[in-house]
């Protein structure tokens, strides 16, 4: 239950609390018992796509309680029969997930790459604008080039992609996603006296989905259609006026959302390069057989090395780096690092990994929890 949204940190904390379906699914990889359930369905060496599908099946079965055949009386089955039934039901769920997904993971990767490319174009323009004295004619030419590229991308997506990808991308490119999420949370605070949780409240409303992420998507679609004056995706495919309005909004929003400082802009550009590297590795793993443990170790090592490199070179712009990598705003990043007990970035610059490892071992030995350390900061 939410007591109300009075400060940014409260809103951010609540967003983390409720908008977490993706995190819940991915967290199955962190629990050894869940990993065993996943590998029962896929084996440990398979494609990342198969692992993600298997994880979704585990989540549907164990967390959401979805069953293929609910008429069976499990109490009359032997332990082995029950186990076999569980596996067979999960495999049916896997088939259903595969049928629903089709090539959506590859399409999602493509959307991310398009988004990064657009960001890089605009950031590069802003850097050039700040480092060279460009006249109005040159400035207009650069803006026009970005304008044409955005329009081409929008038309390609509208004509060739399912509607969900279009709405999801546009909402991110104009900052609408977080706006809708916060609106849902603020509405929920009005129900605190009735002790109505958000998803319960949503499920009671006509045309609202009980799952908060789907409700968010529904509102995004309505908002985008209202703001850009079209009634359906089919109508959008038949006319150009709404596309031009969307394009203009994307440019205006993105020209004003990046840091003012030149160093900040360059940091965003550098982080985007790293982000694309991460996406490329994930894209390759979707169709290539991997050992999950080795893949996870490689990814964590890559990200860790880039974070340390940036932290040592330019700690002052490290928050910008995290904003870009995590696709979060300043307040969300501050909340995230505070949650892990970091209140001053400079304090983590010169950490000795060997000493940190020894401290971690001693904490386990003496039953000291990380929250015990964090609480020292509040005393």
Tens digit of each residue's pLDDT (9 = 90 or more) over 303-355: 999 998 898 888 878 999 999 999 888 888 888 888 877 887 777 766 666 77
Q: Which residue, chain included where needed, has tokens 């609910």?
A: 70
Q: Is the pLDDT of residue 154 over 90?
A: yes
Q: Which of 324, 308, 315, 311 has the alpha carbon at shortest distance from 270?
A: 324
- The number of C-alpha atoms within 13 Å of 28 and in the hemisphere containing its C-beta is 24
Report yes or no: 337 and 377 within 8 Å, Cβ to Cβ.
no
Q: Which residue, chain included where needed, has tokens 């604008």?
A: 129
Mean pLDDT of the region 198-220: 62
Torsion of CA 198, 329, 326, 22, to 10 degrees: 10
Residues contacting 92, CB < 8 A, separation 6+: 68
**C-alpha angle 150-156-159 in degrees, rounded to nearest 5:** 135
| The pair of three-digit structure tokens given for residue 305, joined into one six-digit string | 């090395």
The reported pTM is 0.80
Phi-psi region at 63: left, alpha or beta (left = phi > 0; alpha = psi -120 to 50): alpha
Please state the φ and ψ torsions of residue 50, each to the nearest 5 degrees.
Answer: -65, -35
Q: What count of residues does the chain have?
A: 379
Among 16-30, 122-136, 275-289, name the one with the lowest average pLDDT: 16-30
């Amino acid at each position: 239950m939410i007591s109300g949204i009075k400060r940014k940190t409260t809103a951010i904390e609540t967003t983390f609390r409720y908008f977490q379906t993706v995190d819940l699914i991915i967290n199955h990889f962190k629990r050894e018992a869940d990993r065993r359930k996943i590998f029962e369905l896929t084996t440990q060496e398979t494609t990342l796509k198969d692992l993600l599908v298997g994880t979704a099946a585990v989540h549907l079965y164990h967390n959401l309680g979805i069953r293929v055949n609910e008429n069976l009386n499990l109490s009359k089955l032997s332990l082995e029969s029950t186990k076999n039934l569980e596996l067979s039901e999960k495999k049916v769920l896997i088939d259903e997930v595969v049928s629903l997904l089709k090539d959506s993971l590859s399409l999602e990767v493509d959307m991310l790459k398009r988004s990064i490319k657009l960001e890089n174009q605009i950031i590069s323009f802003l850097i050039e604008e700040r480092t060279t004295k460009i006249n109005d004619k040159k400035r207009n030419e650069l803006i026009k080039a970005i304008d044409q590229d955005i329009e081409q991308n929008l038309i390609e997506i509208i004509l060739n992609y399912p509607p969900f990808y279009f709405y999801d991308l546009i909402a991110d490119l104009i900052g609408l996603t977080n706006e809708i999420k916060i609106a849902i949370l603020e509405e929920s605070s009005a129900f605190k006296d009735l002790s109505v949780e958000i998803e319960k409240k949503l499920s009671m409303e006509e045309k609202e989905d009980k799952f908060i992420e789907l409700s968010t998507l529904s509102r995004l679609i309505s908002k985008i259609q209202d703001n850009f004056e079209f009634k359906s995706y089919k109508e959008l495919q038949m006319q150009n006026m709404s596309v031009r309005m969307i394009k203009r909004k994307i440019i205006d929003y993105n020209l004003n959302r990046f840091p003012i400082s030149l160093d900040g802009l360059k940091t965003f550009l550098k982080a985007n390069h790293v982000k694309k590297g991460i996406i490329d590795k994930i894209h390759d793993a979707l169709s290539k057989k991997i050992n999950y443990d080795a893949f996870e170790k490689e990814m964590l090592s890559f990200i860790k090395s880039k974070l340390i490199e940036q932290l040592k070179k330019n700690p002052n712009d490290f928050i910008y780096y995290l904003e870009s990598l995590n696709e979060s705003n300043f307040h969300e990043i501050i909340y995230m690092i505070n949650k892990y007990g970091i209140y001053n970035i400079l304090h983590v610059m010169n950490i000795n990994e060997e000493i940190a490892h020894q401290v971690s071992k001693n904490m386990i030995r003496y039953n000291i929890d990380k929250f015990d350390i964090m609480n020292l900061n509040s005393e």
